[in-house]
Amino acid sequence: MPSVVYKTATYQRTQSDVDRGVQIYDKKTQSLLINYPFKVRALINAKDGRTDGGGKKAIRLLKNMKEDSDISIALSSFNIMSLVYAMPDSSLAHLMYFQGKIVSSLQDWFFTLANDEAKLMNLDAVDGSRKIVQSAADVLAVKQMADELNTLVLRIAQELQPDIQTSFSLWRSKVENELVI
């Protein structure tokens, strides 16, 4: 795929590698597409620093879940990074012995997005170049990932407590009933 480094006007002023882009030739449209991978990498690294490593762990987990899923989840790596980048830092920053809480934080975040389409549609990509959701297929993919996270949490709960219900909704209602005081 033919591509060249694109030196933006901002790069010309700052001389910072983060401000460079990459132009990629799109054969179908016979035009150049511009990406900003250096900016994305810098922003993801900053997020990871603010979350004590939680940001990249969450991204890796979601990418692995997508690949290991029995269904095809049409979320690109860029969209996965963007969805994690949009999460509040406090949801990803956990002490070393609470790192497993990242799974529940992701479950909460994806549950929120799957049930609040307006919020989901309003999220920007990591580099601010576009909205994360571009189509109904993207909305469906987020809902599918939410379901995968629900299943993962259920499987973890079953490992820890074998008498857990086999359906996530039954398990969640059992837990909610136990929490009612």
Digit-coded pLDDT (tens) for 149-173: 999 988 888 787 776 666 666 766 7
Determine the average pLDDT of the residues in 34-45.
92
Dihedral sign computed on CA atoms, order 43, 61, 177, 170: positive
In a domain, 57, yes or no: yes
In a domain, 36, yes or no: no
In a domain, 63, yes or no: yes
In a domain, 99, yes or no: yes
Give the C-alpha distances (Å, rounded to integers) separating 143 from 47, 72, 173.
24, 12, 20
Q: Give pLDDT, residue 35.
A: 86
Q: What is the DSSP letter of 166?
A: S
In a domain, 38, yes or no: no
Q: State residue 62 phi and psi, 5-degree precision.
A: -65, -40
Structural domains counted in the chain: 1
In a domain, 46, yes or no: no
- For residue 97, name the pLDDT band (cuts at 50, 70, 90): confident
CA 103 remoteness from chain centre: 12
Question: How many Å apart are CA 133 and CA 138, to the nearest integer?
Answer: 5
Supply the pTM of this predicted model.
Answer: 0.83
Q: Give pLDDT, residue 85.
A: 97
Give the C-alpha distances (Å, rounded to integers) separating 32 from 25, 27, 127, 133, 143.
5, 9, 18, 22, 32
State the burial class of residue 180 (Cβ atoms within 10 Å of its Cβ: 0-12, 13-18, 19+): exposed
- For residue 181, name the pLDDT band (cuts at 50, 70, 90): very low
Q: Which residue has the tokens 């401000």?
A: 19
In a domain, 47, yes or no: no
Residue 97's domain spans which residues? 52-179
Question: How many Å apart are CA 57 and CA 176, to the nearest integer?
Answer: 28
